[in-house]
């Protein structure tokens, strides 16, 4: 599995704001929006393009656009905070949704919502979830996508734990991972350490 760590200074400064426990929800969401823009920019660097003819006010020239704008799939809840910025950079994209909640004791994901196109053959997919901890949630989500024919999936995270990266690697699914950092590990509640806490709660408040 290809793993890209976006260690650009501007990305790292947004990540630092998100890690800081003093950052309030509004500032946390703002940092996540900006960081997502940078992650999407890096993730699409190698996307296939097509060319077409346009006229500038001065002369004809060759234009460029994405050959296939990806389907965006935010994983609810926390991935919702990445959806707007991703769609702003990829305005021709459409969006699907997967709702997953991690069981507090087993740490396995429970699916409560799924709204995806039936056929994902030949469609690149960008999955949005700030946290890759044990990897259970993203593995589950990516299996739903491959069952529908997806063969080109890029997972966009803010933070990953080594265990999550290994689980996705072992899954054998056709994935690429783009993240702003790979942290030390997980604590006994399967929270990423040092991490940033619970990305859903920090954006939207505790449930």
Sign, CA dihedral 33-13-100-201, equals negative
Determine the Cα–Cα distance for residues 167 and 164; give it in Å rounded to an integer. Answer: 5
Residue from 71, 177, 68 nearest 129 by CA: 177
Q: ω into residue 40 within 30 of 0, thus cis?
A: no
* Terminal-to-terminal C-alpha distance of the chain: 34
Residue from 130, 156, 98 nearest 28 by CA: 130
Question: Cβ atoms within 10 A of the Cβ of 72, count?
Answer: 22
Q: Which is nearer to ligand PRP, 32 or 133 (CB)?
A: 133
Out of 96, 109, 124, 195, the only residue in the binding site for ligand PRP (CB under 6 A) is 109
Q: Which is nearer to ligand PRP, 68 or 190 (CB)?
A: 190
- 116-155 mask for ligand PRP (x: CB under 6 A)? -------------xxxxxxxxxx-----------------
Residue 120 CB, nearest approach to ligand PRP (Å): 20
Out of 77, 98, 155, 173, the only residue in the binding site for ligand PRP (CB under 6 A) is 77
Residue 69 CB, nearest approach to ligand PRP (Å): 24
Q: Which is nearer to ligand PRP, 120 or 131 (CB)?
A: 131
Q: How many residues interact with ligand PRP (rule CB under 6 A)? A: 23
Residue 39 CB, nearest approach to ligand PRP (Å): 15
Residue 53 CB, nearest approach to ligand PRP (Å): 43
Residues with Cβ < 8 Å from 50, sequence gap 6 or more? 64, 65, 66, 67
Site for ligand PRP, residues 28 to 57, rule: CB under 6 A: none
Residue 101 CB, nearest approach to ligand PRP (Å): 5
Stretch that binds ligand PRP, among 52-60, 66-74, 99-107, 173-181 (CB under 6 A): 99-107
Residue from 66, 103, 132, 197 nearest 142 by CA: 132
Q: ω into residue 194 within 30 of 0, thus cis?
A: yes
Binding site for ligand PRP (CB under 6 A): 75, 77-78, 100-102, 107, 109, 129-138, 164, 190, 198-200
């Amino acid at each position: 599995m290809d793993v890209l760590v976006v260690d650009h200074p501007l990305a790292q400064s947004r990540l630092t704001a998100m890690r800081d426990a003093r950052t309030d929800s509004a500032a946390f969401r703002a940092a996540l929006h900006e960081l997502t823009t940078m992650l999407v920019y890096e993730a699409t660097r190698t996307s296939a393009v097509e060319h077409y003819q346009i006229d500038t006010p001065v002369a004809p020239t060759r234009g460029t656009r994405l050959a296939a704008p990806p389907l965006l799939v935010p994983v609810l809840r926390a991935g919702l905070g990445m959806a707007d910025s991703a769609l702003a950079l990829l305005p021709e994209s459409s969006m699907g949704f997967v709702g997953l909640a991690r069981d507090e004791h087993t740490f396995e994901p429970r699916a409560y919502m799924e709204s995806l196109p039936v056929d994902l053959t030949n469609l690149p997919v960008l999955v949005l979830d700030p946290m890759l901890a044990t990897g259970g949630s993203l593995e589950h989500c990516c299996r739903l996508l491959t069952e529908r024919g997806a063969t080109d999936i890029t997972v966009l995270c803010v933070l990953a734990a080594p265990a999550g990266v290994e689980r996705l690697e072992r899954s054998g699914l056709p994935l690429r991972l783009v993240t702003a950092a790979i942290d030390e590990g997980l604590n006994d509640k399967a929270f990423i350490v040092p991490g940033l806490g619970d990305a859903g709660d920090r954006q939207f408040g505790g449930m």
